[in-house]
Amino acid sequence: MHRWLRPSLFQQVPKLPKVSGTQAIRALESLGFVVVRQRGSHVVMRKGSTGCVIPNHKEIKSGTLAGVLRQAGVPLEEFLRALH
């Protein structure tokens, strides 16, 4: 069996919601992040020494949102609670 066909690689990943840049920024602000600056449609946020860049678009793609959360060090469950 090929390495890329191993069942362990097919773990269930929670579905990321479709959110706008504004919604993501609000949720991260409620988690203690502050807007540091904006250049064009990209907003830079920071919490202590951790920072992240959020595209302020109508809808953030799921892969982009996953990258933002990874960059910010925020678990998906915590982000989902802050979103609602």
Dump pLDDT digits (tens) for 6-17: 555 555 556 788
Q: Identify the band that residue 84 occupies on the pLDDT scale cut at 50, 70 and 90.
A: confident
Three-state SS sequence of the chain: CCHHHCHHHCCCCCCCCCECHHHHHHHHHHCCCEEEEEECCEEEEEECCEEEEEECCCCECHHHHHHHHHHHCCCHHHHHHHHC
Identify the pLDDT of residue 83.
Answer: 92
Per-residue pLDDT tens digits for 16-53 = 889 999 999 999 999 999 999 999 999 999 999 999 99
CB count within 10 Å of CB 5 equals: 8
Beta carbons of 45 and 54 less than 8 angstroms apart:
yes
**Can you give the pLDDT at residue 17?**
86
